Amino acid sequence: MSNLVIVESPTKAKTLTRFLGGGYIVEATMGHLRDLPEKKIGIDVKNNFAPTYEVIAKKKDSLAKIKKLAESAEKIYLATDPDREGEAIAWHVKELLRSSNVKNQKSKNKNEAETNFKRIAFHEITETAIRDALASPHEIDMPLVDAQQARRVMDRLVGYKLSPLLWKKVRYGLSAGRVQSVAVRLIVERERERLAFIAEEYWSIDATFSNKKDSTLKEKSLENMCSQVTSPLLFMS
């Protein structure tokens, strides 16, 4: 049996295939395989904001291919990116593949089959980094996955609840978002400050002074001038 390595990028998959050679099959998810539903909110607000996920329509073929490979894999290495989104993708992939992998591992129980999944992470695309990652797998970081899910839920709630309000009150087609709405607010506040600004005439002074040590002082700050000058003004320009 071969080992299955799952990454996000097809380009990265080609590179890892070259590094690992025989015994490993590398396949790319090309981003998330599942997400919240497109046409409904997909969040049970009354049940601890539990999200409902669906396989993304355009990723069904990719998922089918990965599932097929997973059925005969000895081990499945989840090598998605080492960040919040990558950790969530690794978790989603594991959830989607778990049943496929267990189904064909008839000699193993569910707990044993669970150990077939290995989370690995690397921060550079070199053969040494890949080999080191394979030698030191770890568990999926669930707090990081939860952080991604919280961000996704917030994005969905803000967008789905506020955007229709904008359509009714401002103009159809506008959208609200967890980040974009705050950014727009900051821009509007800054523009209001600019419009409210009243220009006032001001002068800048460049002066040259001499002190008791017969040295020259050049200052633009009146405060600095007064603190250093001990003799009358020679000239001002």
**4 CB burial (10 A radius; 0-12, 13-18, 19+):** buried
Q: Assess whether 178 and 106 both reside in one domain.
A: no
Please indicate, yes or no, whether residues 163 and 125 belong to a single structural domain of this protein. no
Question: pLDDT, tens digit, for every residue of 20-53?
Answer: 988 999 999 999 999 999 989 999 999 999 999 9
In a domain, 153, yes or no: no
Query: Domain containing 30: what range?
Result: 3-146
pLDDT band at 237 (very low <50, low <70, confident <90, very high): very low
Q: Quick one: pLDDT at residue 215?
A: 55
Residue 94's domain is classified under what CATH number? 3.40.50.140
141/165 same-domain check: no
Q: Which residues make Cβ contacts (< 8 Å) with residue 204, sequence separation at least 6?
A: 220
* Residue 218, domain member (yes or no): yes
pTM score of the predicted model? 0.77
Residues 124 and 68 in one domain: yes
Residue 201 is assigned to a structural domain of this protein: no
Do both 56 and 91 map to the same domain?
yes
Cα 23 off chain centre by: 32
**Sheet containing 207-210: order of strands:** 216-219, 207-210, 235-236
What's the N-to-C CA distance of the chain in angstroms?
86
Higher pLDDT, 215 or 53: 53
Residue 230 within any structural domain of the chain: yes
Residues 83 and 175 in one domain: no
Please tell me which of 20-34, 103-117, 213-227 the model is most confident about, judged by mean pLDDT. Answer: 20-34
**Domain shared by 39 and 141, yes or no:** yes
Nearest residue to 12 via CA among 79, 85, 84 = 79
Residue 208: per-residue pLDDT: 72
Q: Do both 113 and 169 map to the same domain?
A: no
Q: Is residue 72 included in any domain, yes or no?
A: yes
Closest to 134 measured CA to CA, from 2, 3, 235:
3
Residue 10: per-residue pLDDT: 96
Confidence check: pLDDT of 234 > 80: no
State the chain's mean pLDDT as an integer: 87
Whether residue 102 lies inside any domain: the answer is: yes
163, 142: one domain: no
Query: Residue 105: pLDDT above 60?
Result: no
pLDDT at 216 over 60: no
Residue-level pLDDT at 205: 79
* Residue-level pLDDT at 22: 87
Shared domain check, 175 and 138: no
pLDDT of 229 above 70: no
Task: State the pLDDT confidence band at 214, using cuts at 50, 70 and 90.
Answer: low
What's the domain count of the chain? 3
Q: Does 122 map to a domain?
A: yes
Which one has a higher pLDDT value, 232 or 17?
A: 17
Residues 81, 112, single domain; the answer is yes
Task: Please indicate, yes or no, whether residues 113 and 219 belong to a single structural domain of this protein.
Answer: no
Tell whether 75 is covered by a domain. yes
